[in-house]
Chains A and B, each alone.
Chain A
């Protein structure tokens, strides 16, 4: 459960986020959709307490990232855009490291990794060093690493970037599984099909502001368009950044 109200963030003269408010409910997948540079990643970074907001309030399960950063980090699972695996360590070692940083016991981590290997289908490469992994394998390890401590809230930044069709399908199945298990999931993306296939709620962000907020059907009705893509362009008011 995430509540965000009137969020602002500037970097020097650049106003990256200008008054964003939204809610994310448990058991739902919420998509942050927007062109590149719209402020999606900045918003996510404020959620996982990497950046302090200049103004506005965030509550994740009642906790404030600016004050209860450590507690919030325990309840969050984050897959950032960069993935950032350690290439000189095996997939398992990467995951164990994060488990230990969450203070989990060796035994607990071992059991959890067995579960994750099963659900994410990682048995083939779990013991291999991540150097030279395919994008799909990398995303799986990054997800397993983010999920090792069984977080309630899951934040995914551009999760399907660079994935082939099979990997994308597997990823979508996994994200839908999270929703069924009652997690609240936020994913940021600029890919329309992804939002259409996954999200219960869509929040369209453009120029650091919310251009629209609602289910896919609501957005279509609001814009009077037939396709989500047209609706998207209509709602953000330009095609700028879409092709980037």
Chain B
């Protein structure tokens, strides 16, 4: 076993001297991701504020058909513009985002007490139109409600008759659980880090050694090949774990810098949450190291290995995407699914909930099991004579 340690120490030390390896483990996860995160949050919150506070300029077609409505809008601070000749086209080209069209029969419908039709022309598939659309719709609804009330009062009916129920929100989310952006992104970022942190080392120490022809002399030494493989895999896992730890630390310091407006809450990563996350994601690091070593051992060249690594990015992405599209309530059986369970557990830890020991053990156990399977595959690959042949 001391030979295994020799291989391990050499890989760790040699890769400390490799700028690309350090870039992958230290720069990407711990530095770039938090910066990206803060940047995106600032961008999102400033955009949102801009759109909410901006003066709303809305072209109106047929303003003469509803002068009262138009003056109501003007009172609410809307700048009414004359519409282009073809309003649909100008929305389609996104010259303007929302146009109100008041048809000619509006006055007639209004007078006879029928619901008077107002057309709102917009393209909801364009996300930047969301806010102006909501604002216009809100104003129109407010006008409608106001007139409705007046009409009821005129007939001596209490306006409350129109409100048989009233919905009252009782918010049970803890402040942390509202940070949706973080809840979705953080698990993904951490899982990616567990893979990228050791990626370069895995490729360099296996496919790279093969290509530089140093694997053949290495394997002539009296060391069982599985020990050589395990030493390299352990070095990969160490780099990934260090990267993961640094990333968590970076986020701990980055969270206070986030604009509170973007998330609606202050988020923080307690030392306890960091400890829990490291414990939960630790097995993923081992699984990732085993997977990367297997792929790197399969590849005949450095380039081939690198092209596999692009695919590896997809693996931690899949569970995160499923979770993003379809947020689920964590249940015990889900803890048996590697990568998916960590997504849920990270969420629990960040929310500051206490995680059941059973869940943690199931998640760690199932992930480690798959990790050991991959490690066994990698060991078998190392035992093939062709491991040393590069082309």
Contact = CB atoms under 8 A, between A and B. Distances in A.
How many interface residues does chain B have, given as a range? 20 to 34
Contacts of B214: 82, 84-86
Contact of B221 (A45, A84, A101): A101
Interface string A156-199: 00000000000000000000000000000000000000000000
Contact of A142 (B2, B212, B217): B217
A101 B217 contact: no
B17 A84 contact: no
A81 to B, nearest CB: 8
Contact of A101 (B6, B209, B215): B6
Interface stretch (A19-27, A68-76, A219-227): A68-76
A74 B222 CA distance: 6
A86 B212 CA distance: 9
Interface in A63-113: 70-71, 73-74, 76, 78-89, 97-98, 100-103
B207 to A, nearest CB: 14
Given A84-B215, A85-B214, A88-B14, A100 B220 contact: no
A80 B390 CA distance: 14
Nearest to B225: A69
Contacts of B2: 103
Contacts of A103: 2-3, 222
A102 B2 CA distance: 10
A145 interface: yes
Nearest to A79: B217
Interface stretch (A32-40, A47-55, A208-216, A233-241): A47-55
A146 interface: yes
Contacts of B216: 50, 80, 82, 84
Most chain A CB within a 10 A radius of its CB, from B7, B10, B209, B221: B221
Given A84-B212, A84-B217, A102 B10 contact: no
Contact of B213 (A78, A83, A101): A83
Interface of A: 45, 48, 50-52, 70-71, 73-74, 76, 78-89, 97-98, 100-103, 142, 145-146
18 contacts: A51-B385, A52-B385, A73-B222, A78-B220, A80-B216, A82-B212, A82-B217, A84-B213, A85-B214, A86-B214, A89-B10, A89-B14, A98-B217, A100-B3, A100-B6, A101-B6, A103-B2, A103-B3
